[in-house]
Amino acid sequence: MVSKKLEKYKDYFKGKTYNITTFGCQMNEHDSERISYILEDLGYVYEEDRKKADFILFNTCLVRENAELKLYGQVSSLKKIKESHPEKIIAVSGCMMQTEVARQVIIDKHREVDIIFGTKNINSLSDLIFRYLETGERVVDISTDNVKDDFVKYNTPNHFQAYVNIMTGCDNFCSYCIVPESRGREESRRPSSIIEEVEYLVNQGYKEITLLGQNVNSYGNKADFNHTFPELLEKVAQIPNLKRLRFTTSHPKDLSDELIKVIKRNDNICKYFHLPLQSGSDKVLKDMNRKYTQEKYLERARKLKEEIPEIAISTDIIVGYPTETEEDFEQTLKVCKEVGYDTAFTFKYSPRPKTRAAKLTPIDDDIVQARFDKLLDLLYPIFNEKNQTYIGKTVEVLLESESKNNPEVLTGRTDDYKLVHVKADKSLIGEFVKVKITGNTSFTISGDLVE
């Protein structure tokens, strides 16, 4: 069907350009890569300037309120452009569109949007565009079915790093989280399909692969095949010429000893572990429905460090959950001191529609801000101290891009996910280099190329 329609509209797509703005997590970034492939397969060419593009798409996130507000503002900024250039197509996709409340805001208040689709309709994008071109009327297509994410083609920002979905959805139902609503229930891909995709990417020259899932540790739990995440990770790590293997995200309640052993014995599995805490208080963790205690969390963090001393650990922390008291918050600080995170993603609680926590009375903004500032005052010196230990060491770095502030400086990551700045020629982007570390901040390390 697509090929017949494409033949009909092939002249239309000649010279047409597109732009995608992505909000949110790596899952959304990977979805945008799939969308990019579909658009370019139709004939679109990427345009960096959003306002100049013929097809403008926003791939949305609903996890944080800030991303939602940004979306509304950026879509509104296109109203006048759409009025003066009605031939432009504006589309909104992603997690926000999977929820009725957010979707209705776009439908009712943003008539400039022509195409609306969800996370499970990406493969139908070509047909949605054809429907719009034929009718000139808004197209809304949202699927609630759990669609298995088999190996599909996509465009990556570079040709040495790629994301691979191993599962979709989530069954944890944390009280503050909208993911089960926006991404659906948990479903795992077959190991053979995942391995086929990674082998394909490695044969195309990709050097670093990141396996994606809302909770990779529960991979295979509901599947009709007998395969755990440690078993999958081990098999992927054995693929010839795969230089680096990462994964995200892990849920502490499902972190097994076997997974730690697999990371330890495979050199190409990066020694970096993202272990979301959210809160250090047992009471708040119970209210959040996190299904672990502070003691259990700390035991898992200690086990990681005992078995893999060189491992770097990062985390997520929510400040100001509605039931959090000052004593609860102090327990979060206690855990941060004990674990000694290499970095952390910190957030002030924001209520999400259709979550249990949204029904609770929020804490005063000033109190939340004071706690948030106190948390950062604790964390930043820890990050700085961790990074200082790299001074004088020579590390291997996969160079990823030019620095935003200085084109003569390239940035990249170490095995343990440290962000490195080094003066180097841009021809080295995508290559592994040795860097002797000479300086640091709380968030980066920097040094000189080792010839």
Q: Is 95 marked as a binding-site residue?
A: yes
Q: Is 336 marked as a binding-site residue?
A: no
Q: Is 174 marked as a binding-site residue?
A: yes
Quick check: 128 and 121 in contact, CB under 8 A?
yes
Alpha helices in 166-244, H assignment, sequence order: 179-183, 191-203, 229-237
**Distance from the first to the final alpha carbon of the chain:** 55
Quick check: 66 and 90 in contact, CB under 8 A?
no
CA distance 232 to 248: 14
Quick check: 23 and 60 in contact, CB under 8 A?
yes
Quick check: 120 and 27 in contact, CB under 8 A?
no
Q: For the sheet containing 312-319, what is the strand order?
A: 272-274, 312-319, 343-348
Quick check: 366 and 331 in contact, CB under 8 A?
no
Strands 445-449 and 419-423: parallel
CA distance 358 to 169: 21
CA distance 349 to 364: 11
Q: Is 270 marked as a binding-site residue?
A: no
3-state secondary structure of 32: helix
Structure tokens at 436: 């002797």
Spatial CA neighbour of 216 closest among 182, 175, 263: 263
CA distance 313 to 331: 19
Q: Is 170 marked as a binding-site residue?
A: yes
Q: What is the CA radius of gyration of the chain?
A: 23
Say which residue the tokens 């095995």 belong to. 415
Structure tokens at 90: 């504006």
CA distance 106 to 75: 9
Known binding-site residues for [4Fe-4S] cluster equal: 25, 61, 95, 170, 174, 177
Residue list for the binding site: 25, 61, 95, 170, 174, 177
